[in-house]
């Protein structure tokens, strides 16, 4: 397909006139205006820590509307722009909740769910949730499922969720949704958006269903079933059952115990033929990949998607929104990689990549000639453009962050962290824009939370670690974002190597990241600090005790300081989960009630050995790492005559700061602390 782009000269990084109405609406409803900082000047702290101006931008199936989430009156609301009339409207007016996510249902309705982005208990752990519908013109509002707070006020014990899965084929008013409505295990329902009526599709539930897999027509035809409820992963036996139709009999096609699951496969979805499966498997590979699976022979077949260093769990299968056919794949590797194997998509993608050089392009096609084009990179926050395949025109629409551009962001550089025991772990580092080879810079090693999450992926302000790194780089610091053993998405060898190694080899990895930066020549060995929150906060406290010869100061947030107390406390949000506690005991190397391995690596039990200045921050309403963990460490440090230099506790925050004023204060305090202890800018020769 030959595509001529006639609008190249019009590629500008500003709002197009087509959305001037939307900008006026944003201002009228209280959205914060943001203007990029002048060239040569760093952007203000708020530009880095503020939420994006627009996110989750999508085009309606018929190409008439554009929808997006945008801050209005201090809350994130759902906006719709009519591309035919250039008129925009807010179709929600939330003042207590934020719209967390939404989906088109045909081109007439949208369904959305709520959360509290600035809640002390987290986005979904507060009193948000629910499922709601509204027409694209703002009418037809309907509550399909109440929020946590609403259900509690009605006497409901425990939250009964309902989650959007997809639109019923051929309908613009019915959806398929999953939720624990009649039991505490998920069922699948057909839901009418006009009447609110639900039809149960999984009456014959085949046991303790942990997960349903729907086919391309959204029929629940596969079930992953556990033999027991709330036991450790090692005790579970998992069965995979399939049926040929909604009313057909179930038949078992696989059964796995713990060891077999590690070597086996996990169903992802149905193959294009609607009969066989796409599964995730690492058999014979360093990293898991997607394969086709034949349900009759029960054999894993041809590989669909794989990467030599990154787990396919970091990949997303791309489907045409109208036909639901597979058209491509994207994967978060060293950078975002997008590939289309459908010929029409591939030709258009190639043309757009020629326009948006040094950026990654993704496409959203409508059933008409209109295509929404998203372009983004580590230095370019996502921008959204409308391409008309019939008229061959390209119009800029939205920028996700109007206060930042490539002048304020630096390259997110990939490297392999080679640990002292031979692992090679993909990681990232950042250097200031004006860095000259040979300069020795103050450096921060930021340790991500989890620790069993992949928190830092390539992209502009794509996560907490990247936000901190870009802010610090804009102020003259080098930053290393190391992954480490037990970080998922990087293959089983790296993940499995973390069990039993908290405070041991995992801390070796953090030290190795600092030593790598020194060996590269950009880090001043006498000016390196460590930072992090949650697990990263723990790692920082422990580094103050076991790695004081490597790090000169530490910034520790949302900390764990006593591992046994953390797992036995009734103040956490997971204390009732036997499987969660058992998982963490495996992470620590604790067997039964022998807590010595946990005591050996608990900072509060060794506070007298802490030897670097500390800045500790916490949220008083935190239930993941309760405030008692901070209090234990601060008390132990004070008793040892080593009180933290700065202690910041916010009464209205939880496991992560959500209020913008608190995020700004935290960032500014962090900068002052680092300026004092390692200074900004290159070392003098």
Confidence of residue 524 (pLDDT cuts 50, 70, 90): very high
C-alpha dihedral (654, 657, 662, 667), degrees to nearest 10: 140
Residue 681 above 80 pLDDT? yes
As a whole number of angstroms, the distance between CA 201 and CA 77 comes to 32
Contact 455, 448 (CB under 8 A): yes
Confidence of residue 124 (pLDDT cuts 50, 70, 90): very low
Name the one residue in this structure whose structure tokens are 């300069």: 439
Mean pLDDT over 340-363 rounds to 96
Q: Any residues with CB less than 8 A from the CB of 331 and at least 6 apart, and which?
A: 305, 307, 310, 312, 314, 315, 316, 337
As a whole number of angstroms, the distance between CA 129 and CA 96 comes to 12
As a whole number of angstroms, the distance between CA 413 and CA 481 comes to 10
As a whole number of angstroms, the distance between CA 479 and CA 678 comes to 13
Q: Any residues with CB less than 8 A from the CB of 47 and at least 6 apart, and which?
A: 34, 37, 401, 403, 404, 408
- Among 71-75, 338-342, 550-554, 623-627, the range scoring the smallest mean pLDDT is 71-75
pLDDT at 313: 84
Contact 365, 328 (CB under 8 A): no
Q: Which of 520, 518, 506, 404 is nearest to 447 (CA)?
A: 506
As a whole number of angstroms, the distance between CA 620 and CA 637 comes to 19
Residue 243 above 90 pLDDT? yes
- Among 109-123, 223-237, 525-539, the range scoring the smallest mean pLDDT is 109-123
474-483 per-residue burial string, b: 16 or more CB within 10 A, e: under 16: bebbbbbbbb
| Domains of the chain in sequence order | 208-340 (no CATH), 413-677 (3.40.50.1820)
Confidence of residue 406 (pLDDT cuts 50, 70, 90): very high
Mean pLDDT over 143-156 rounds to 86
Q: How confident is the model over 261-285, as pLDDT tens digits?
A: 878 899 999 999 999 999 999 888 8
Residue 16 above 60 pLDDT? no
Q: How confident is the model over 653-667, as pLDDT tens digits?
A: 889 898 899 999 999
Q: How confident is the model over 610-633, as pLDDT tens digits?
A: 999 999 999 999 989 999 999 999
Residue 23 above 50 pLDDT? no
C-alpha dihedral (42, 48, 53, 54), degrees to nearest 10: 120
Confidence of residue 416 (pLDDT cuts 50, 70, 90): very high
Residue 297 above 60 pLDDT? yes
């Amino acid at each position: 397909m030959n595509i001529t782009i006639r609008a190249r000269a019009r590629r500008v990084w500003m709002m197009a006139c087509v959305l001037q109405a939307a900008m006026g609406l944003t201002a009228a409803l209280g959205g914060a205006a943001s203007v990029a900082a002048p060239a040569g000047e760093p952007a203000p702290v708020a530009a880095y820590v503020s939420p994006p101006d627009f996110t989750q931008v999508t085009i309606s199936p018929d190409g008439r509307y554009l929808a997006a989430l945008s801050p209005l009156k201090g809350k994130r609301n759902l906006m719709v722009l009519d591309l035919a009339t250039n008129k925009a409207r807010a179709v929600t007016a939330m003042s207590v909740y934020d719209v967390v996510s939404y989906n088109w249902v045909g081109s007439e309705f949208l369904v959305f769910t709520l959360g509290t982005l600035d809640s002390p208990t987290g986005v979904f752990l507060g009193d948000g949730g629910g499922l709601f519908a509204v027409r694209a013109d703002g009418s037809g509002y309907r509550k399909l499922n109440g929020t946590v707070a609403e259900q509690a006020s009605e006497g409901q014990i425990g939250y009964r969720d309902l989650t959007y899965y997809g639109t019923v084929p051929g309908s613009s008013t019915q959806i398929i949704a999953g939720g624990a409505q009649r039991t505490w295990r998920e069922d699948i329902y057909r839901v009418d958006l006009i009447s609110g009526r639900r039809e149960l599709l999984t009456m014959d539930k085949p046991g303790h269903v942990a997960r349903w897999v729907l086919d391309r027509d959204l029929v629940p035809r596969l079930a992953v079933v556990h033999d027991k409820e709330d036991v450790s992963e090692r005790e579970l036996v998992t069965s995979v059952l399939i049926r040929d139709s909604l009313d057909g009999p179930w038949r078992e096609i696989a059964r796995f115990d713990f060891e077999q699951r590690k070597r086996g496969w996990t169903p992802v979805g149905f193959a294009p033929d609607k009969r066989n499966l796409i599964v995730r498997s690492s058999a014979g590979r360093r990293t898991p990949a997607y394969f086709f699976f034949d349900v009759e022979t029960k054999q894993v077949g041809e590989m669909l998607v794989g990467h030599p260093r990154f787990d396919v769990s970091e990949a997303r299968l791309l489907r045409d929104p109208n036909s639901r056919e597979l058209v491509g794949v994207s994967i978060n590797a060293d950078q975002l990689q997008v590939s289309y194997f459908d010929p029409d998509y591939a030709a258009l993608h190639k043309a757009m990549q020629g326009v948006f050089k040094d950026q990654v392009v993704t496409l959203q096609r409508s059933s008409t000639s209109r295509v929404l084009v998203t372009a983004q990179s580590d230095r370019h926050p996502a921008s959204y453009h409308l391409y008309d395949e019939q008229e061959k025109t390209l119009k800029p629409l939205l920028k996700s962050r109007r206060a930042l551009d490539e002048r304020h962001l630096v390259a997110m550089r990939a490297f392999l962290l080679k640990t002292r025991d031979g692992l090679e772990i993909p990681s990232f580092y950042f250097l200031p824009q004006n860095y000259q080879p040979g300069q020795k810079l103050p450096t921060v090693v930021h340790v991500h939370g989890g620790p069993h999450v992949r928190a830092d992926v390539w992209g502009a302000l794509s996560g907490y670690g990247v936000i901190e790194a870009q802010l610090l780089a804009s102020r003259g610091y080098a930053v290393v974002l190391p992954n480490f053993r037990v970080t998922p998405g990087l293959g089983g060898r790296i993940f499995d190597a973390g069990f039993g190694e908290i405070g041991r080899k995992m801390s070796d990895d953090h030290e190795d990241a600092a030593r790598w930066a020194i060996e590269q020549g950009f880090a001043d060995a006498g000016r390196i600090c460590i930072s992090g929150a949650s697990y990263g906060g723990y790692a920082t406290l422990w580094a103050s005790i076991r790695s004081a010869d490597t790090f000169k100061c530490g910034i520790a947030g949302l900390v764990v300081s006593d591992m046994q107390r953390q797992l036995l406390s009734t103040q956490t949000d997971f204390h009732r989960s036997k499987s969660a506690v058992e998982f963490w005991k495996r992470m620590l190397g604790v067997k039964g009630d022998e807590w010595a391995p946990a005591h050996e690596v608990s900072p509060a039990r060794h506070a007298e050995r802490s030897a670097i200045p500390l800045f500790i921050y916490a949220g008083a309403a935190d239930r993941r790492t309760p405030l008692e963990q901070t209090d234990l460490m601060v008390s132990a440090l004070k008793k040892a005559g080593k009180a933290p230099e700065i202690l910041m506790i916010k009464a209205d925050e939880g496991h992560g700061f959500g209020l913008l004023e608190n995020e700004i204060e935290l960032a500014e305090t962090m900068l002052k602390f680092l300026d004092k202890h390692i200074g900004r800018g290159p070392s003098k020769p």
